[in-house]
Amino acid sequence: MHFLPVKKNQALIIGHNDHRYKIDLNWGALNANFYPVNDCHEMVQDSRGRIILLTNHTKNNVIIYDKSGNLIEVWGTEFPGAHGLTLNVEEGNDFLYIADNNRHEVIKTTIDGKTVLQIPYPKASGKYEKPEQFVPTETAIAPNGDIYIADGYGLQYILHYNAQGNLKNVFGGRGDGDEYFDNAHGICYDNRDAKNPCLLITARQRNELKRFSLDRKLLEVIPLPGAFICRPVIHGKHVYLATIWSGSGSANTGFVSILNEKNQLVSAPGGSTPIYKNGKLEPMHQTIKIFQHPHDVCVDDDENLYIAQWNSGKTYPIKLVRV
Amino acid sequence: MRSFFYLFIFIVIHSCTSTRDVQDSSFSTFAQAQQFRLAAPIIKAEDIFFSKKNEIQFLLRLEKSKIHYTLDGSEPTENSPLYHEKVVLFNSAIVKAKAFHPECKPSEITTKEFVKLGKKLKVKNISVTRNPHKNYPGNGVNGLIDRKKGTDNFRTPFWMGFEGGDLETIIEFEKEESVSKVTASLLSDPNAWIFMPKTMMVLGSKDGGTYEILNTLESAPTPEGTSTSLRFLTAEFPNANFKFIKVLLKSFPEIPKWHPGKGSPPWLFIDEIIVE
Protein backbone atom coordinates (compact mmCIF):
# COMPACT_ATOMS: atom_id res chain seq x y z
CA MET A 1 0.00 0.00 0.00
CA HIS A 2 1.59 3.20 -1.15
CA PHE A 3 0.59 6.49 0.25
CA LEU A 4 1.55 9.45 -1.87
CA PRO A 5 0.98 12.87 -0.37
CA VAL A 6 0.91 14.39 -3.84
CA LYS A 7 -0.80 13.13 -6.96
CA LYS A 8 1.51 11.56 -9.49
CA ASN A 9 2.10 13.50 -12.72
CA GLN A 10 1.35 16.74 -11.03
CA ALA A 11 3.33 19.45 -12.75
CA LEU A 12 4.79 22.02 -10.41
CA ILE A 13 3.42 25.50 -11.09
CA ILE A 14 5.47 28.57 -10.22
CA GLY A 15 4.87 32.30 -10.32
CA HIS A 16 2.24 34.61 -8.91
CA ASN A 17 -1.02 36.32 -9.85
CA ASP A 18 -1.76 36.00 -13.59
CA HIS A 19 1.76 34.94 -14.50
CA ARG A 20 2.06 31.27 -13.55
CA TYR A 21 4.04 28.66 -15.38
CA LYS A 22 4.87 24.99 -15.78
CA ILE A 23 8.55 24.19 -16.15
CA ASP A 24 10.09 22.37 -19.11
CA LEU A 25 13.65 21.52 -18.15
CA ASN A 26 14.26 19.50 -21.31
CA TRP A 27 13.46 22.22 -23.81
CA GLY A 28 16.21 22.75 -26.37
CA ALA A 29 18.62 20.23 -24.88
CA LEU A 30 21.08 19.21 -27.59
CA ASN A 31 23.97 16.79 -27.87
CA ALA A 32 26.74 18.86 -26.32
CA ASN A 33 29.37 17.04 -28.40
CA PHE A 34 27.92 18.63 -31.53
CA TYR A 35 26.15 21.77 -30.29
CA PRO A 36 27.84 22.88 -27.08
CA VAL A 37 27.03 25.93 -24.98
CA ASN A 38 29.03 27.73 -22.31
CA ASP A 39 27.00 30.54 -20.84
CA CYS A 40 23.58 30.90 -22.44
CA HIS A 41 23.49 34.67 -22.36
CA GLU A 42 20.47 35.91 -24.24
CA MET A 43 17.53 34.83 -26.41
CA VAL A 44 15.10 36.50 -28.79
CA GLN A 45 12.29 35.39 -31.08
CA ASP A 46 12.58 36.34 -34.74
CA SER A 47 9.87 37.36 -37.19
CA ARG A 48 9.45 33.78 -38.32
CA GLY A 49 8.69 32.69 -34.76
CA ARG A 50 12.04 30.98 -34.26
CA ILE A 51 13.87 31.16 -30.93
CA ILE A 52 17.45 32.40 -31.20
CA LEU A 53 19.98 31.67 -28.45
CA LEU A 54 23.32 33.47 -28.07
CA THR A 55 26.11 31.61 -26.26
CA ASN A 56 29.79 32.43 -25.82
CA HIS A 57 30.80 29.00 -27.14
CA THR A 58 32.59 29.71 -30.42
CA LYS A 59 31.66 26.38 -31.97
CA ASN A 60 28.16 27.77 -32.47
CA ASN A 61 27.56 31.23 -31.03
CA VAL A 62 24.01 31.33 -32.36
CA ILE A 63 21.66 28.38 -32.00
CA ILE A 64 18.27 28.63 -33.66
CA TYR A 65 15.34 26.52 -32.44
CA ASP A 66 11.66 26.21 -33.15
CA LYS A 67 9.35 26.90 -30.22
CA SER A 68 9.27 23.20 -29.33
CA GLY A 69 13.03 23.23 -28.86
CA ASN A 70 13.93 21.42 -32.08
CA LEU A 71 17.20 22.55 -33.60
CA ILE A 72 16.87 24.42 -36.88
CA GLU A 73 20.36 25.75 -37.51
CA VAL A 74 23.51 27.13 -35.91
CA TRP A 75 26.04 29.75 -36.96
CA GLY A 76 28.75 31.96 -35.51
CA THR A 77 32.32 31.11 -34.49
CA GLU A 78 33.74 34.59 -34.01
CA PHE A 79 32.00 35.87 -30.89
CA PRO A 80 34.11 34.74 -27.93
CA GLY A 81 32.43 37.29 -25.68
CA ALA A 82 28.91 36.95 -27.10
CA HIS A 83 26.77 38.56 -24.42
CA GLY A 84 23.95 40.87 -25.54
CA LEU A 85 21.44 39.93 -28.25
CA THR A 86 18.83 42.31 -29.62
CA LEU A 87 16.65 41.77 -32.68
CA ASN A 88 15.39 44.62 -34.81
CA VAL A 89 13.24 44.48 -37.91
CA GLU A 90 14.48 46.92 -40.56
CA GLU A 91 12.49 47.25 -43.82
CA GLY A 92 11.02 43.82 -43.31
CA ASN A 93 14.32 42.09 -42.52
CA ASP A 94 15.49 40.80 -39.13
CA PHE A 95 18.86 42.01 -37.89
CA LEU A 96 20.74 40.99 -34.78
CA TYR A 97 22.88 43.24 -32.58
CA ILE A 98 25.48 41.27 -30.65
CA ALA A 99 27.34 42.95 -27.79
CA ASP A 100 30.65 41.10 -27.50
CA ASN A 101 32.50 41.87 -24.29
CA ASN A 102 35.62 40.03 -25.38
CA ARG A 103 35.93 41.76 -28.76
CA HIS A 104 35.00 45.08 -27.09
CA GLU A 105 32.53 45.94 -29.80
CA VAL A 106 28.96 45.59 -30.98
CA ILE A 107 28.37 43.65 -34.18
CA LYS A 108 25.22 43.96 -36.30
CA THR A 109 24.48 40.92 -38.43
CA THR A 110 21.79 39.65 -40.73
CA ILE A 111 19.62 36.89 -39.32
CA ASP A 112 21.88 34.32 -40.98
CA GLY A 113 25.08 35.78 -39.58
CA LYS A 114 26.54 38.18 -42.14
CA THR A 115 28.20 41.13 -40.46
CA VAL A 116 26.82 44.44 -41.71
CA LEU A 117 28.12 46.89 -39.07
CA GLN A 118 30.74 46.93 -36.34
CA ILE A 119 30.77 49.52 -33.59
CA PRO A 120 34.15 49.63 -31.88
CA TYR A 121 35.02 51.39 -28.61
CA PRO A 122 33.65 54.96 -28.52
CA LYS A 123 36.87 56.91 -28.84
CA ALA A 124 34.95 59.97 -30.05
CA SER A 125 33.18 60.21 -26.68
CA GLY A 126 36.40 61.37 -25.04
CA LYS A 127 35.66 59.03 -22.14
CA TYR A 128 37.67 56.06 -23.36
CA GLU A 129 41.40 55.67 -23.94
CA LYS A 130 41.56 52.11 -25.21
CA PRO A 131 39.27 49.36 -26.50
CA GLU A 132 39.65 47.26 -23.32
CA GLN A 133 37.72 49.86 -21.32
CA PHE A 134 34.64 49.21 -23.45
CA VAL A 135 32.88 46.02 -22.35
CA PRO A 136 29.39 46.29 -23.83
CA THR A 137 26.68 44.08 -22.40
CA GLU A 138 23.52 45.15 -24.23
CA THR A 139 21.98 47.16 -27.05
CA ALA A 140 18.57 48.73 -27.63
CA ILE A 141 17.32 49.94 -30.99
CA ALA A 142 14.93 52.88 -31.35
CA PRO A 143 12.26 52.91 -34.08
CA ASN A 144 14.39 55.38 -36.11
CA GLY A 145 17.26 52.88 -36.07
CA ASP A 146 19.31 54.70 -33.42
CA ILE A 147 21.44 52.31 -31.38
CA TYR A 148 21.91 52.54 -27.62
CA ILE A 149 24.76 50.54 -26.10
CA ALA A 150 25.10 49.82 -22.38
CA ASP A 151 28.74 49.47 -21.33
CA GLY A 152 27.74 47.33 -18.37
CA TYR A 153 31.08 45.67 -17.67
CA GLY A 154 33.11 48.68 -18.75
CA LEU A 155 32.90 52.33 -17.81
CA GLN A 156 29.11 52.24 -17.24
CA TYR A 157 28.26 54.75 -19.94
CA ILE A 158 25.18 54.55 -22.14
CA LEU A 159 26.28 55.38 -25.69
CA HIS A 160 23.81 56.67 -28.23
CA TYR A 161 24.59 56.13 -31.94
CA ASN A 162 22.69 56.72 -35.13
CA ALA A 163 21.82 53.74 -37.32
CA GLN A 164 25.14 54.08 -39.19
CA GLY A 165 27.10 53.73 -35.94
CA ASN A 166 28.10 57.37 -35.49
CA LEU A 167 28.17 58.50 -31.88
CA LYS A 168 25.52 61.08 -31.00
CA ASN A 169 25.51 61.25 -27.19
CA VAL A 170 26.86 59.75 -23.99
CA PHE A 171 25.30 59.62 -20.54
CA GLY A 172 25.44 57.59 -17.34
CA GLY A 173 28.84 56.38 -16.24
CA ARG A 174 30.03 55.43 -12.77
CA GLY A 175 29.05 57.59 -9.83
CA ASP A 176 27.05 57.90 -6.65
CA GLY A 177 23.93 59.73 -7.84
CA ASP A 178 20.78 58.07 -9.15
CA GLU A 179 21.67 59.03 -12.71
CA TYR A 180 24.80 56.85 -12.60
CA PHE A 181 25.26 53.11 -12.86
CA ASP A 182 26.81 50.18 -11.12
CA ASN A 183 26.69 47.37 -13.67
CA ALA A 184 24.49 48.96 -16.36
CA HIS A 185 23.87 45.46 -17.60
CA GLY A 186 20.74 45.78 -19.72
CA ILE A 187 18.83 48.38 -21.70
CA CYS A 188 15.62 48.42 -23.72
CA TYR A 189 13.48 50.88 -25.62
CA ASP A 190 10.18 51.22 -23.76
CA ASN A 191 7.31 52.29 -26.02
CA ARG A 192 4.49 51.02 -23.82
CA ASP A 193 3.35 54.61 -23.50
CA ALA A 194 3.49 55.43 -27.22
CA LYS A 195 3.39 59.19 -26.57
CA ASN A 196 6.29 59.08 -24.12
CA PRO A 197 8.79 56.47 -25.18
CA CYS A 198 11.76 56.09 -22.84
CA LEU A 199 14.71 53.88 -22.02
CA LEU A 200 14.76 51.26 -19.27
CA ILE A 201 18.24 50.52 -17.97
CA THR A 202 19.26 48.12 -15.21
CA ALA A 203 21.75 48.96 -12.47
CA ARG A 204 22.22 45.35 -11.48
CA GLN A 205 24.47 45.71 -8.45
CA ARG A 206 22.08 48.29 -7.02
CA ASN A 207 18.99 46.13 -7.66
CA GLU A 208 17.43 49.00 -9.59
CA LEU A 209 15.72 49.63 -12.88
CA LYS A 210 16.10 53.20 -14.12
CA ARG A 211 13.90 55.03 -16.55
CA PHE A 212 15.47 57.73 -18.75
CA SER A 213 13.86 60.05 -21.27
CA LEU A 214 15.19 59.91 -24.81
CA ASP A 215 16.92 63.23 -24.09
CA ARG A 216 18.91 61.49 -21.33
CA LYS A 217 17.08 62.76 -18.26
CA LEU A 218 16.51 60.42 -15.36
CA LEU A 219 12.74 60.04 -14.95
CA GLU A 220 12.41 57.38 -12.29
CA VAL A 221 14.31 54.80 -10.25
CA ILE A 222 12.42 51.56 -9.71
CA PRO A 223 13.96 49.73 -6.75
CA LEU A 224 13.72 45.92 -6.79
CA PRO A 225 15.51 45.13 -3.52
CA GLY A 226 17.13 41.73 -3.47
CA ALA A 227 16.75 41.29 -7.25
CA PHE A 228 19.95 41.44 -9.33
CA ILE A 229 18.21 42.13 -12.64
CA CYS A 230 20.02 41.53 -15.94
CA ARG A 231 18.08 43.17 -18.75
CA PRO A 232 14.55 44.44 -19.19
CA VAL A 233 12.49 42.78 -21.93
CA ILE A 234 9.16 44.31 -22.86
CA HIS A 235 6.29 42.18 -24.05
CA GLY A 236 2.83 43.72 -24.19
CA LYS A 237 2.45 45.88 -21.10
CA HIS A 238 4.87 43.85 -18.98
CA VAL A 239 8.61 43.94 -18.32
CA TYR A 240 10.42 40.64 -17.87
CA LEU A 241 13.79 40.53 -16.14
CA ALA A 242 16.06 37.56 -15.58
CA THR A 243 17.28 37.88 -12.01
CA ILE A 244 20.72 36.34 -11.74
CA TRP A 245 21.12 36.47 -7.96
CA SER A 246 18.85 37.41 -5.12
CA GLY A 247 18.92 38.25 -1.45
CA SER A 248 22.46 39.20 -0.51
CA GLY A 249 23.72 38.01 -3.89
CA SER A 250 25.03 34.51 -3.20
CA ALA A 251 25.49 31.90 -5.95
CA ASN A 252 22.60 29.90 -7.45
CA THR A 253 19.84 32.11 -6.07
CA GLY A 254 18.24 33.34 -9.30
CA PHE A 255 14.62 33.66 -10.36
CA VAL A 256 12.53 35.59 -12.91
CA SER A 257 10.92 38.99 -12.27
CA ILE A 258 7.81 40.24 -14.08
CA LEU A 259 6.62 43.85 -13.74
CA ASN A 260 3.22 45.21 -14.76
CA GLU A 261 2.48 48.39 -16.71
CA LYS A 262 3.12 50.43 -13.54
CA ASN A 263 6.52 48.75 -13.17
CA GLN A 264 5.42 46.91 -10.03
CA LEU A 265 6.62 43.37 -9.48
CA VAL A 266 3.59 41.11 -9.96
CA SER A 267 5.14 37.70 -10.41
CA ALA A 268 8.46 36.11 -9.50
CA PRO A 269 8.67 32.53 -10.81
CA GLY A 270 11.16 30.76 -8.52
CA GLY A 271 11.17 33.73 -6.14
CA SER A 272 9.27 34.93 -3.09
CA THR A 273 5.74 36.32 -3.26
CA PRO A 274 6.06 40.02 -4.15
CA ILE A 275 4.66 42.18 -1.37
CA TYR A 276 4.49 45.96 -1.31
CA LYS A 277 4.34 47.64 2.08
CA ASN A 278 3.66 51.39 2.00
CA GLY A 279 4.46 51.33 -1.68
CA LYS A 280 7.84 49.67 -1.18
CA LEU A 281 8.70 46.18 -2.34
CA GLU A 282 9.80 43.83 0.44
CA PRO A 283 13.28 42.39 -0.29
CA MET A 284 13.12 39.51 -2.76
CA HIS A 285 14.82 36.12 -2.56
CA GLN A 286 14.73 32.72 -4.20
CA THR A 287 12.22 30.20 -2.81
CA ILE A 288 12.56 27.10 -4.97
CA LYS A 289 15.88 25.92 -6.36
CA ILE A 290 14.90 25.70 -10.03
CA PHE A 291 17.18 28.30 -11.55
CA GLN A 292 20.86 28.86 -10.91
CA HIS A 293 21.77 32.10 -12.67
CA PRO A 294 19.06 33.32 -15.07
CA HIS A 295 20.59 35.78 -17.51
CA ASP A 296 17.79 36.55 -19.94
CA VAL A 297 14.10 35.99 -20.59
CA CYS A 298 12.65 35.60 -24.07
CA VAL A 299 8.86 35.93 -24.28
CA ASP A 300 7.36 34.21 -27.31
CA ASP A 301 4.10 35.01 -29.12
CA ASP A 302 2.27 32.50 -26.87
CA GLU A 303 3.59 34.35 -23.78
CA ASN A 304 5.74 31.38 -22.83
CA LEU A 305 9.17 32.20 -21.45
CA TYR A 306 12.64 30.90 -22.30
CA ILE A 307 15.23 31.38 -19.58
CA ALA A 308 18.88 31.49 -20.67
CA GLN A 309 21.34 30.99 -17.81
CA TRP A 310 24.89 32.13 -17.14
CA ASN A 311 27.36 29.78 -15.42
CA SER A 312 24.84 27.02 -14.84
CA GLY A 313 26.70 23.85 -15.73
CA LYS A 314 26.54 24.47 -19.50
CA THR A 315 22.83 23.68 -19.45
CA TYR A 316 20.45 24.66 -22.24
CA PRO A 317 17.61 27.13 -21.64
CA ILE A 318 14.58 26.33 -19.49
CA LYS A 319 11.13 26.93 -20.94
CA LEU A 320 8.27 28.18 -18.77
CA VAL A 321 4.86 27.41 -20.25
CA ARG A 322 2.16 29.81 -19.11
CA VAL A 323 -0.88 28.25 -17.46
CA MET B 1 -32.63 8.91 -33.85
CA ARG B 2 -32.24 12.19 -32.02
CA SER B 3 -31.09 10.42 -28.84
CA PHE B 4 -28.50 8.52 -30.90
CA PHE B 5 -27.24 11.82 -32.14
CA TYR B 6 -26.85 13.12 -28.60
CA LEU B 7 -25.17 9.91 -27.57
CA PHE B 8 -22.79 10.30 -30.51
CA ILE B 9 -21.99 13.89 -29.50
CA PHE B 10 -21.47 12.78 -25.92
CA ILE B 11 -19.04 10.06 -26.99
CA VAL B 12 -17.11 12.45 -29.21
CA ILE B 13 -16.81 15.05 -26.49
CA HIS B 14 -15.95 12.50 -23.87
CA SER B 15 -13.30 10.85 -26.03
CA CYS B 16 -11.81 14.26 -26.72
CA THR B 17 -11.50 15.11 -23.07
CA SER B 18 -10.08 11.74 -22.16
CA THR B 19 -7.57 11.95 -25.02
CA ARG B 20 -6.47 15.30 -23.70
CA ASP B 21 -6.17 13.83 -20.22
CA VAL B 22 -3.95 11.05 -21.50
CA GLN B 23 -1.81 13.50 -23.44
CA ASP B 24 -1.52 15.73 -20.45
CA SER B 25 -0.38 13.04 -18.06
CA SER B 26 2.03 11.55 -20.58
CA PHE B 27 3.42 15.00 -21.24
CA SER B 28 6.16 14.34 -18.74
CA THR B 29 8.50 17.00 -20.03
CA PHE B 30 7.11 19.29 -17.37
CA ALA B 31 8.92 19.26 -14.08
CA GLN B 32 6.89 17.48 -11.45
CA ALA B 33 6.07 18.15 -7.85
CA GLN B 34 8.82 16.87 -5.51
CA GLN B 35 11.48 17.45 -8.15
CA PHE B 36 12.97 20.61 -6.67
CA ARG B 37 14.33 21.59 -3.31
CA LEU B 38 13.10 24.62 -1.45
CA ALA B 39 15.56 27.42 -0.86
CA ALA B 40 16.67 27.63 2.74
CA PRO B 41 14.56 30.00 4.84
CA ILE B 42 15.89 33.35 5.97
CA ILE B 43 16.51 33.98 9.65
CA LYS B 44 15.98 37.66 10.26
CA ALA B 45 16.89 39.70 13.33
CA GLU B 46 17.93 43.24 14.19
CA ASP B 47 21.42 42.02 14.96
CA ILE B 48 23.46 38.94 15.69
CA PHE B 49 24.79 40.47 18.92
CA PHE B 50 22.42 41.56 21.64
CA SER B 51 22.57 42.61 25.26
CA LYS B 52 19.13 41.77 26.73
CA LYS B 53 16.78 40.11 24.26
CA ASN B 54 16.58 39.58 20.54
CA GLU B 55 13.53 39.12 18.34
CA ILE B 56 14.00 36.80 15.41
CA GLN B 57 11.82 36.00 12.44
CA PHE B 58 11.92 33.25 9.84
CA LEU B 59 10.72 33.75 6.31
CA LEU B 60 10.48 32.15 2.90
CA ARG B 61 7.34 33.88 1.52
CA LEU B 62 6.14 30.99 -0.59
CA GLU B 63 2.51 29.86 -0.61
CA LYS B 64 1.90 26.61 1.27
CA SER B 65 5.39 26.50 2.78
CA LYS B 66 6.00 25.97 6.50
CA ILE B 67 9.08 26.66 8.57
CA HIS B 68 10.11 24.54 11.53
CA TYR B 69 12.90 25.68 13.84
CA THR B 70 15.07 24.80 16.83
CA LEU B 71 16.95 27.02 19.26
CA ASP B 72 19.32 24.42 20.74
CA GLY B 73 21.44 23.70 17.69
CA SER B 74 19.63 20.44 16.85
CA GLU B 75 18.42 19.66 13.32
CA PRO B 76 14.84 20.83 12.76
CA THR B 77 12.27 18.30 11.53
CA GLU B 78 8.54 18.54 10.92
CA ASN B 79 8.15 17.69 14.62
CA SER B 80 10.11 20.79 15.69
CA PRO B 81 8.18 23.93 16.61
CA LEU B 82 6.30 25.46 13.67
CA TYR B 83 7.04 29.12 13.13
CA HIS B 84 4.10 31.47 13.08
CA GLU B 85 5.16 34.62 14.85
CA LYS B 86 8.38 36.12 16.05
CA VAL B 87 10.55 34.24 18.52
CA VAL B 88 12.32 36.06 21.35
CA LEU B 89 15.77 35.02 22.52
CA PHE B 90 16.98 35.87 26.01
CA ASN B 91 20.26 33.96 25.78
CA SER B 92 22.87 33.12 23.18
CA ALA B 93 21.49 30.46 20.85
CA ILE B 94 22.27 28.50 17.74
CA VAL B 95 19.08 28.88 15.73
CA LYS B 96 18.26 26.48 12.92
CA ALA B 97 15.34 26.58 10.50
CA LYS B 98 14.13 24.34 7.70
CA ALA B 99 11.30 24.88 5.21
CA PHE B 100 8.75 22.28 4.12
CA HIS B 101 6.23 22.33 1.27
CA PRO B 102 3.78 19.72 -0.02
CA GLU B 103 5.13 19.99 -3.58
CA CYS B 104 8.86 20.44 -2.98
CA LYS B 105 11.71 18.70 -1.23
CA PRO B 106 12.49 20.18 2.19
CA SER B 107 15.09 22.92 2.23
CA GLU B 108 18.62 22.80 3.51
CA ILE B 109 18.93 24.02 7.07
CA THR B 110 19.68 27.68 7.75
CA THR B 111 21.81 28.19 10.84
CA LYS B 112 22.43 31.46 12.59
CA GLU B 113 24.20 31.93 15.84
CA PHE B 114 23.06 34.75 18.11
CA VAL B 115 25.38 35.95 20.82
CA LYS B 116 24.41 37.72 24.01
CA LEU B 117 27.19 40.06 25.05
CA GLY B 118 28.22 41.57 28.35
CA LYS B 119 29.25 45.19 28.70
CA LYS B 120 31.68 46.56 26.16
CA LEU B 121 35.18 47.16 27.46
CA LYS B 122 36.81 50.51 26.67
CA VAL B 123 39.47 50.05 24.03
CA LYS B 124 42.40 52.47 23.79
CA ASN B 125 43.94 51.03 20.66
CA ILE B 126 43.55 48.11 18.27
CA SER B 127 46.07 47.04 15.65
CA VAL B 128 46.57 44.23 13.18
CA THR B 129 49.98 43.05 12.02
CA ARG B 130 49.10 43.04 8.34
CA ASN B 131 46.72 44.91 6.10
CA PRO B 132 43.71 43.13 4.63
CA HIS B 133 43.50 42.52 0.89
CA LYS B 134 42.72 45.83 -0.83
CA ASN B 135 39.39 44.49 -2.09
CA TYR B 136 38.23 43.50 1.40
CA PRO B 137 39.28 46.25 3.80
CA GLY B 138 36.18 45.94 6.01
CA ASN B 139 35.41 49.02 8.05
CA GLY B 140 39.04 49.42 8.97
CA VAL B 141 40.63 47.95 12.05
CA ASN B 142 38.13 49.69 14.36
CA GLY B 143 35.37 47.78 12.55
CA LEU B 144 36.67 44.73 14.40
CA ILE B 145 35.34 46.09 17.69
CA ASP B 146 32.19 47.94 16.58
CA ARG B 147 29.96 44.97 17.49
CA LYS B 148 28.38 45.12 14.03
CA LYS B 149 28.04 41.80 12.31
CA GLY B 150 28.59 41.19 8.59
CA THR B 151 26.14 39.27 6.45
CA ASP B 152 27.02 35.95 4.84
CA ASN B 153 28.01 37.84 1.69
CA PHE B 154 31.77 38.31 1.83
CA ARG B 155 31.50 41.30 -0.50
CA THR B 156 29.70 43.38 2.11
CA PRO B 157 31.97 45.96 3.69
CA PHE B 158 31.90 44.47 7.19
CA TRP B 159 34.44 41.83 6.29
CA MET B 160 38.20 42.12 6.35
CA GLY B 161 39.68 39.51 4.05
CA PHE B 162 43.19 38.06 4.20
CA GLU B 163 44.68 35.68 1.67
CA GLY B 164 46.57 32.91 3.50
CA GLY B 165 48.99 33.34 6.37
CA ASP B 166 48.43 34.44 9.95
CA LEU B 167 46.58 37.36 11.43
CA GLU B 168 47.64 38.86 14.72
CA THR B 169 45.41 41.43 16.40
CA ILE B 170 46.36 43.34 19.54
CA ILE B 171 43.71 45.12 21.58
CA GLU B 172 44.82 47.56 24.25
CA PHE B 173 42.25 48.57 26.86
CA GLU B 174 42.17 51.94 28.56
CA LYS B 175 42.83 50.20 31.85
CA GLU B 176 43.36 46.65 33.06
CA GLU B 177 40.18 44.64 32.65
CA SER B 178 39.01 41.36 34.09
CA VAL B 179 38.79 39.08 31.07
CA SER B 180 37.60 35.48 30.66
CA LYS B 181 36.33 35.10 27.11
CA VAL B 182 37.39 36.10 23.60
CA THR B 183 35.20 35.50 20.57
CA ALA B 184 36.32 35.83 16.95
CA SER B 185 33.51 36.32 14.46
CA LEU B 186 34.40 34.71 11.15
CA LEU B 187 32.98 33.67 7.79
CA SER B 188 33.06 30.17 6.38
CA ASP B 189 32.30 30.23 2.65
CA PRO B 190 34.12 27.41 0.83
CA ASN B 191 32.52 28.40 -2.51
CA ALA B 192 34.42 31.68 -2.23
CA TRP B 193 37.62 29.98 -0.97
CA ILE B 194 37.02 31.34 2.52
CA PHE B 195 37.76 28.91 5.34
CA MET B 196 37.90 28.79 9.12
CA PRO B 197 41.42 29.13 10.56
CA LYS B 198 43.34 26.10 11.84
CA THR B 199 44.13 27.61 15.22
CA MET B 200 43.08 30.53 17.34
CA MET B 201 45.41 31.47 20.15
CA VAL B 202 44.51 34.06 22.78
CA LEU B 203 47.25 35.71 24.82
CA GLY B 204 47.12 38.30 27.59
CA SER B 205 49.59 40.87 28.84
CA LYS B 206 49.70 43.58 31.51
CA ASP B 207 52.49 45.62 29.90
CA GLY B 208 52.24 44.84 26.17
CA GLY B 209 55.66 43.23 26.29
CA THR B 210 55.34 39.76 27.76
CA TYR B 211 52.29 37.72 26.91
CA GLU B 212 50.95 34.54 28.46
CA ILE B 213 48.92 32.06 26.48
CA LEU B 214 45.35 31.94 27.80
CA ASN B 215 43.80 29.38 25.49
CA THR B 216 44.34 27.76 22.09
CA LEU B 217 41.54 26.37 19.93
CA GLU B 218 42.17 23.92 17.10
CA SER B 219 39.67 23.49 14.27
CA ALA B 220 39.28 20.44 12.04
CA PRO B 221 39.60 21.02 8.28
CA THR B 222 36.32 22.04 6.64
CA PRO B 223 34.48 18.96 5.34
CA GLU B 224 33.17 18.75 1.78
CA GLY B 225 29.66 20.09 1.25
CA THR B 226 29.89 22.77 3.94
CA SER B 227 27.60 25.66 3.10
CA THR B 228 28.21 29.34 3.75
CA SER B 229 27.78 30.36 7.37
CA LEU B 230 28.69 32.96 9.94
CA ARG B 231 30.89 31.31 12.56
CA PHE B 232 32.24 32.13 15.98
CA LEU B 233 35.32 30.81 17.72
CA THR B 234 35.12 31.36 21.45
CA ALA B 235 38.12 30.89 23.71
CA GLU B 236 37.33 30.79 27.43
CA PHE B 237 39.84 30.86 30.25
CA PRO B 238 39.98 31.60 33.99
CA ASN B 239 39.24 35.20 34.89
CA ALA B 240 42.32 37.39 35.03
CA ASN B 241 43.28 41.06 34.65
CA PHE B 242 44.99 42.24 31.48
CA LYS B 243 45.55 45.50 29.66
CA PHE B 244 46.47 43.84 26.36
CA ILE B 245 44.83 40.94 24.57
CA LYS B 246 46.43 39.38 21.54
CA VAL B 247 44.46 37.12 19.18
CA LEU B 248 46.46 35.01 16.75
CA LEU B 249 44.58 33.30 13.92
CA LYS B 250 46.52 30.81 11.83
CA SER B 251 45.02 29.64 8.55
CA PHE B 252 45.49 26.14 7.20
CA PRO B 253 48.47 26.15 4.82
CA GLU B 254 46.34 24.91 1.93
CA ILE B 255 42.71 24.61 0.83
CA PRO B 256 41.50 21.00 1.44
CA LYS B 257 41.94 18.35 -1.25
CA TRP B 258 38.21 18.03 -2.06
CA HIS B 259 38.01 21.68 -3.11
CA PRO B 260 38.70 23.04 -6.64
CA GLY B 261 41.17 25.45 -5.01
CA LYS B 262 43.20 22.66 -3.38
CA GLY B 263 46.81 23.58 -2.73
CA SER B 264 46.15 27.34 -2.79
CA PRO B 265 46.15 29.35 0.44
CA PRO B 266 42.69 29.73 1.95
CA TRP B 267 41.15 33.13 2.63
CA LEU B 268 40.39 34.27 6.16
CA PHE B 269 37.45 36.66 6.67
CA ILE B 270 36.88 38.32 10.03
CA ASP B 271 34.50 41.08 11.08
CA GLU B 272 34.65 41.23 14.86
CA ILE B 273 36.68 40.35 17.96
CA ILE B 274 34.80 40.47 21.24
CA VAL B 275 36.54 40.47 24.59
CA GLU B 276 34.43 39.88 27.68
Q: Locate the DSSP E strands across A154-293.
A: 157-161, 167-172, 187-190, 198-203, 208-213, 218-223, 227-235, 238-246, 255-259, 265-267, 276-277, 280-281
Q: Of how many residues is chain A composed?
A: 323
List the single best residue of B30, B59, B105 to mutate versus A (max A Cβ within 10 A). B30
A288/B62 Cβ within 8 A: yes
Is residue B46 very low, low, confident or very high in pLDDT (cuts 50, 70, 90)?
Answer: confident
Is the C-alpha dihedral spanning B9, B12, B16, B19 positive or negative? positive
Q: What is the pLDDT of residues A173-191, one digit of tens each?
A: 999 899 999 999 999 999 9
Strands A105-110 and A93-100: antiparallel
pTM: predicted TM-score of the whole model, two decimal places: 0.83
pLDDT in tens, B126-163: 999 899 999 899 988 999 998 888 788 888 888 999 99
Q: What is the pLDDT of residues A142-176, one digit of tens each?
A: 999 999 999 999 999 999 999 999 999 999 999 98
Domain boundaries, chain B: 42-116, 123-275
Q: In chain B, which residues have their Cβ closer than 8 Å to the Cβ of A249?
A: 153, 155
CA of A136 to nearest chain B CA: how many angstroms apart? 24
Backbone angles phi, psi at B20, to 5 degrees: -65, -40
When pLDDT is averaged across residues A19-23 and rounded to a whole number, the result is: 98
Is the per-residue pLDDT at B25 higher than 50? no
Cβ of A287 and B39 within 8 Å?
Answer: yes
Q: What is the CA radius of gyration of chain A?
A: 19
Q: What is the dihedral of CA B134, A207, A315, B193, to 10 degrees?
A: 20
Please report, rounded to a whole number, the percentage of residues in chain B having pLDDT higher than 90. Answer: 66
Question: A238-246 and A227-235 as β-strands: parallel, antiparallel, unpaired?
Answer: antiparallel
Residue A22: list chain B partners with CB under 8 A: 30-31
CA distance B99 to chain A (A): 10
**pLDDT at residue B19, as a whole number:** 40
Whether A319 has a pLDDT exceeding 80, the answer reads yes
Q: Nearest by CB to B102, from A5, A27, A289: name it.
A: A5
d(CA A240, CA A25): 19
CATH number of the domain located at residue range(s) B42-116 in this protein: 2.60.40
Question: What CATH number is given for B123-275 in this structure?
Answer: 2.60.120.1190
Residues 6+ apart with CB under 8 A from B178: B239, B240, B241
As a whole number, mean pLDDT of residues B212-235 equals 89
